[in-house]
Amino acid sequence: MSLIFRPLFEKESSTYTYLLADSNTKEAIIIDAVDETQQRDIGLIEELGLDLKYIVETHVHADHITSSCPLKQKFTQAKIVLGKINPVDCADILIGDGETLTFGEFALTAMTTPGHTDGCMSYVVDDKVFTGDALLIRSCGRCDFQGGSAEKLFDSISRLFALPDETYVYPAHDYGGRTVSSIWEEKAFNEMIGGGVDKAEFVRRVNAMELALPAKIHVAVPANQVCGSKIVSD
């Protein structure tokens, strides 16, 4: 038994999509799939002969439109999964903290990590954690819309930092070409919270961010609240 693991990238929104599968049973999950790259993802799933079981979102994204519903139309047995706090009706499973999804001999364990949005979830598989926009490589998610809270994000990242130091960190985005980090690296070097930064200083740093709203926010958020179902797939 081994884990098939394929990190995939969408360059316009700098989004990482992750495809994981059990090499024996071929049961698979996909995390944070993007509409623009749905044909690439469908092609890879078919090439590898995978049985897509779960389509997982770390949160309701504001910078791209998900391909959850188009993927489910193609792989009808797959179930769309979001965290329980997310205001969506299109999910087949609303997962809670500590709950697991199995694919073959592997288990995906959910962690509630609010702060970037109130419904953010991270997911742990073996020595990997998929952190969405909560913990980025050397940074963290913004907290100025969708119920964001810098105070909550500090607590969430503190939970992530309690994972083993050797745990690999795979975020939903990276804007500098980096593909992976680790818990110990982020504890030491993260520019927002590393090196023992306390909660008050973290909140000050996050609230001092001056970022333009994502270009697609007014389209992406409503579309993602219905799991991309209004997108016409080929």
User: Which residue ranges form the domains of the chain, and what is each CATH number?
Assistant: 3-211 (3.60.15.10)
Residue 230 has pLDDT above 70, yes or no: no
Q: Which residue has the tokens 């409503």?
A: 222
| Separation of alpha carbons 164 and 180, rounded Å | 15
pLDDT at residue 196, as a whole number: 95
Mean pLDDT for all residues in the chain: 94
CA nearest to 33, candidates 87, 69, 78, 75? 69
pLDDT in tens, 157-212: 999 999 999 999 999 999 999 999 999 999 999 999 999 999 999 999 999 998 88
pLDDT in tens, 61-103: 888 899 999 999 999 999 999 999 987 889 999 999 999 999 9
pLDDT at residue 234, as a whole number: 37
Model confidence at 126, pLDDT cuts 50, 70, 90, reads: very high
Q: With contact defined as beta carbons under 8 Å apart, do 170 and 180 qualify?
A: yes
Model confidence at 145, pLDDT cuts 50, 70, 90, reads: confident
Residue 229 has pLDDT above 80, yes or no: no
Q: What is the DSSP letter of 136?
A: E
- Residues whose CB is less than 8 angstroms from the CB of residue 113 and which lie 6 or more positions away in sequence, other chains included: 120, 121, 122, 131, 132, 134, 135, 153, 156, 157, 159, 160
pLDDT in tens, 7-55: 999 999 999 999 999 999 999 999 999 999 999 999 999 999 999 999 9
| Separation of alpha carbons 186 and 161, rounded Å | 8
